[in-house]
Amino acid sequence: MKRDMITKSNSLTNPDFGCKPEERPIEEYISKGVINLDKTSGPTSHEIDSWVKRILHCEKTGHGGTLDPKVTGVLPLGIDDATRAIQLLLTAPKEYVCLLTFHQDVDEDKIREVFAEFTGKIFQLPPVKSSVKRELRTRNIYYSTIYEIKGRDVLFRIGCEAGTYVRTYCHNIGEALGVGAHMAELRRTQIESFNEKNNLVTLHDLKDAYCFWKEDGDESFLRDTIMPMERAADYLPKIVIKDSAVGAICHGADLASGGIAKLHESIEKNDIVAIETLKGELVAAGLALNTTDEILDSDSGFVVNTNKVFMKTGIYPKLWK
> Looking at this protein, which amino acid is placed at residue 308?
K
Specify whether 297 is catalytic: no
Which value, to the nearest 10 degrees, does the dihedral of the CA atoms of residues 207, 209, 215, 220 take?
-170
Phi-psi region of 202 (alpha: psi -120 to 50; beta: other; left: phi over 0): beta
Q: Give me the catalytic one of 4, 49, 68, 205.
A: 68
Distance CA 181, CA 213 (A): 48
How far separated are the first and last CA of the chain, in Å rounded? 39
Distance CA 236, CA 89 (A): 10
Distance CA 199, CA 103 (A): 38
> Looking at this protein, which amino acid is placed at residue 4?
D
- Short-list 74, 81, 76, 72, CA closest to 24: 81
Distance CA 179, CA 144 (A): 20
Catalytic residues: 68
